[in-house]
Amino acid sequence: LESWAVESEVRALESREEANIAKVEARKWRRRESYFRSLLVRAIDDENTPTDVLEHYPSLI
């Protein structure tokens, strides 16, 4: 019974660790997405940006 409790606790800790890793990864991707979106917005504001780029991202205009 004791080994079952230990195994159960280990599984719970591993699950929490995996959840924390997933949260960190999600945060990294949100940060990257935000960064690239800001680059795209800056490119749209730049009058030298080719119009075909703007056509692919009409929601940002």
The upper half-sphere exposure of residue 15, i.e. CA atoms within 13 Å in the direction of its Cβ, equals 6
Q: If you search the block for the tokens 């230990």, which residue do you land on?
A: 6
Q: Is the pLDDT of residue 9 over 90?
A: yes
Per-residue pLDDT tens for 38-55?
888 787 777 766 666 657
4 and 20 Cβ atoms separated by less than 8 Å: no
Q: Is the pLDDT of residue 16 over 90?
A: yes
Mean pLDDT of the chain: 83
Model pTM score: 0.56
26 and 16 Cβ atoms separated by less than 8 Å: no
Q: Which amino acid is residue 51, in one-letter code?
A: T
Q: Is the pLDDT of residue 61 over 60?
A: no
pLDDT at 37: 86
- Sketch the domain layout of the chain as residue ranges: 2-60
